[in-house]
């Protein structure tokens, strides 16, 4: 492979053929905007953050999207998406949903 663009085209084609990640695979995204999460970086360091939004599929091939990056977080790089596999719900900061009045 001779360029980043060719790599992005290849992983995007694999993604499109296999559809391994939500929501393209028919499964819902696990987290919603506002959810408190723990992000674990590749070195294993954990950060308590919050989901601020979702990374939408760009028009051109994108390796990040093709590798499952869907979530935007409230951190120093709010434009940098992360995959669901690096997140877990922060139960200590989760607000229980109110039960609907009967």
Show contacts of 20-26: CB within 8 Å, 24+ apart.
20/68, 21/68, 21/70, 21/83, 21/84, 22/70, 22/84
Per-residue pLDDT of the chain (102 residues; tens, 9 = 90+): 579 889 889 989 898 899 989 998 999 999 999 999 999 999 999 999 999 999 999 999 999 999 999 999 999 999 999 999 999 999 998 776 654 444
Q: Which CATH class is domain 4-89?
A: mainly beta
Q: Where are the domains of the chain?
A: 4-89
pLDDT at 98: 53
pLDDT at 5: 86
Beta bridge partners of 50: 36
pLDDT at 87: 98
């Amino acid at each position: 492979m001779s360029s980043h663009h060719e790599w992005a085209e290849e992983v995007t084609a694999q993604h499109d053929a296999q559809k391994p990640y939500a929501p393209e695979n028919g499964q819902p995204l696990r987290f919603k905007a506002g959810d408190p999460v723990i992000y674990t970086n590749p070195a294993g360091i954990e950060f308590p953050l919050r989901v601020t939004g979702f990374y939408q599929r760009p028009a051109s091939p994108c390796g990040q999207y093709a590798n499952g990056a869907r979530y935007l977080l409230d951190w120093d790089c709010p434009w940098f998406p992360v995959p669901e596999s690096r997140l877990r719900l922060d139960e200590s900061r989760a607000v229980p949903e109110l039960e609907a009045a009967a």
